[in-house]
């Protein structure tokens, strides 16, 4: 293009403007990339601990359990029972028989019992995934040297068994089923409390409340509540749900007496505490969503003689629902990852039975992870990593289903 004649008092400098634009673009790109790198590092770090070689040493060498030259893996049920009987005390055997008659147990179950009671594998050392890949030969030599009687195998701490097994104090046979169920129960009550209350409050504040000093104060306080540290909610939950409302949260009001329940420290109390925690988040997001519904839509509705409630129910809410659900997704993510308030409310750390009602004792995945990471042994850190992966998977699938739900609702005409 032919250059335009210089205009006095104007420094047009298009090239300079474009240059500063591209610099900013680079800055934004870099921050995005940094974020992705951080996330990838997090995930890799977790994976690094969750898989890798372990050196396992059995109390009794498996070869000595062979019957008539048949190795343990190939023995049938009767042979396994014989082995078990020979190796543990009759008292222990009778107790197992009482828990569940051997005749009714599966072969796999008996093999598992032998694994836990007789072989008693012990993790002598575990290696990270990175080490296992890069130094496999060295690790094999090292393990053979240091633990001559041990078996070296590549272990995935995250496995279907890990997800399906209840908690146990033995690293190799523990699982997160109890914690997963605890988390899901807790989230259920969190949502049951926070979703209707939060959306209701948002509707009131946006559509009904007058713009006066009291309501502005309420609004400010809700915004502040969203920033209150979660441990504070834990203390609140302890005071209200665990202590003051103990008859309710322990179920004695309903005549439910759960012998395992310890003084209101139940799934219900935890769920309600987390519900209070995420309530401000849900309110604020729902308010935003309701505010985003165009005023013209409300006017259209009022203009044909609709009442306020008809307007809210038929036009405002359906159009705000996607936004409300987005807020709810955020709230679920926050609640499912909370640890501190649950520690205060009284989540159990060692619990081997699944929560079966709102009035059960419970543990949740974050609590379980927290507990495992504080153990000195390496293998528990690997377990924690595996549990983190489980938590992430649950979180992502819950969010995915909420997103699907949202997309369904936001299918507009």
User: By the criterion CB under 8 A, which residues form the site for other proteins?
Assistant: 210-211, 294, 296-307, 310, 314-315, 319, 412-413
Tell me the closest approach of the beta carbon of residue 302 to other proteins, in angstroms: 6
Q: Which is nearer to other proteins, 254 or 309 (CB)?
A: 309
Tell me the closest approach of the beta carbon of residue 406 to other proteins, in angstroms: 16
Tell me the closest approach of the beta carbon of residue 286 to other proteins, in angstroms: 19
Q: Which is nearer to other proteins, 9 or 295 (CB)?
A: 295
Residue partners of 336: CB distance under 8 A and separation at least 6 = 183, 187, 364, 365, 366, 391, 394, 395, 398
Q: Which is nearer to other proteins, 306 or 343 (CB)?
A: 306
Q: Which is nearer to other proteins, 143 or 320 (CB)?
A: 320
Q: Which is nearer to other proteins, 65 or 316 (CB)?
A: 316
Tell me the closest approach of the beta carbon of residue 280 to other proteins, in angstroms: 25
Tell me the closest approach of the beta carbon of residue 301 to other proteins, in angstroms: 8
Q: How far apart are CA 136 and CA 381, in angstroms?
A: 21
Q: Which is nearer to other proteins, 36 or 300 (CB)?
A: 300
Q: Which is nearer to other proteins, 218 or 240 (CB)?
A: 218
- Residues 249-284 as b/e (b if ≥16 CB within 10 A, e otherwise) read bbbeeeeeebeebeebbbbbbbbbbbbbbbbbbbbb
Q: Which is nearer to other proteins, 215 or 333 (CB)?
A: 215
Q: How far apart are CA 194 and CA 280, in angstroms?
A: 9
Tell me the closest approach of the beta carbon of residue 323 to other proteins, in angstroms: 14
Tell me the closest approach of the beta carbon of residue 305 to other proteins, in angstroms: 3
Tell me the closest approach of the beta carbon of residue 215 to other proteins, in angstroms: 11
End-to-end CA distance of the chain: 47
Q: How far apart are CA 98 and CA 85, in angstroms?
A: 14
């Amino acid at each position: 293009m032919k250059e335009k004649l210089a205009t006095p008092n104007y420094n047009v400098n298009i090239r300079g403007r474009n240059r500063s634009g591209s610099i900013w673009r680079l800055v934004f790109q870099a921050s995005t990339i940094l974020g992705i790198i951080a996330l990838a590092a997090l995930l890799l770090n977790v994976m690094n601990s969750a898989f890798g070689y372990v050196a396992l040493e059995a109390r009794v060498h498996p070869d000595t359990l062979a019957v008539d030259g048949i190795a343990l893996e190939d023995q049938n049920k009767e042979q396994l029972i014989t082995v078990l009987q020979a190796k543990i005390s009759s008292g222990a055997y009778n107790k197992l028989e009482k828990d569940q008659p051997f005749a009714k147990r599966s072969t796999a179950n008996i093999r598992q019992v032998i694994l836990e009671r007789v072989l008693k594998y012990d993790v002598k050392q575990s290696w990270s995934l990175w080490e296992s890949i890069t130094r496999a030969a060295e690790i094999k030599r090292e393990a053979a040297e240091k633990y001559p009687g041990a078996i070296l195998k590549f272990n995935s701490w995250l496995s279907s068994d890990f997800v399906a097994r209840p908690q146990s104090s033995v690293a190799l046979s523990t699982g997160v089923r109890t914690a997963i169920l605890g988390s899901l129960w807790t989230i259920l009550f969190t949502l049951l409390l926070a979703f209707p209350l939060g959306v209701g409050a948002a509707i009131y504040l946006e559509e009904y409340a007058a713009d006066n000093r009291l309501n502005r104060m309420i609004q400010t306080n809700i915004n502040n509540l969203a920033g209150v540290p979660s441990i504070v909610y834990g203390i609140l939950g302890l005071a209200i749900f665990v202590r003051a409302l103990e008859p309710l949260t322990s179920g004695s009001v309903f005549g439910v007496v759960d012998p395992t329940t310890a003084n209101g420290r139940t799934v219900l109390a935890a769920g309600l505490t987390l519900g209070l925690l995420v309530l401000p988040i849900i309110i604020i997001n729902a308010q935003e969503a309701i505010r985003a519904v165009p005023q013209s839509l409300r006017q259209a509705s009022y203009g044909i003689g609709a009442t306020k409630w008809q307007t809210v129910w038929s036009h405002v809410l359906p159009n705000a629902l996607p936004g409300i659900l987005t807020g709810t997704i955020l709230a679920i993510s926050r609640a499912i990852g909370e640890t501190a308030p649950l520690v205060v409310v009284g989540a159990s750390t060692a619990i081997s039975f699944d929560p079966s009602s709102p009035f059960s004792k419970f543990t949740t995945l974050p609590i379980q992870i927290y507990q495992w990471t504080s153990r000195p042994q390496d293998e528990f850190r690997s377990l924690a990593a595996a549990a983190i992966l489980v938590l992430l998977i649950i979180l992502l699938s819950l969010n995915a289903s909420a997103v699907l739900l949202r997309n369904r609702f936001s299918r507009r005409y």
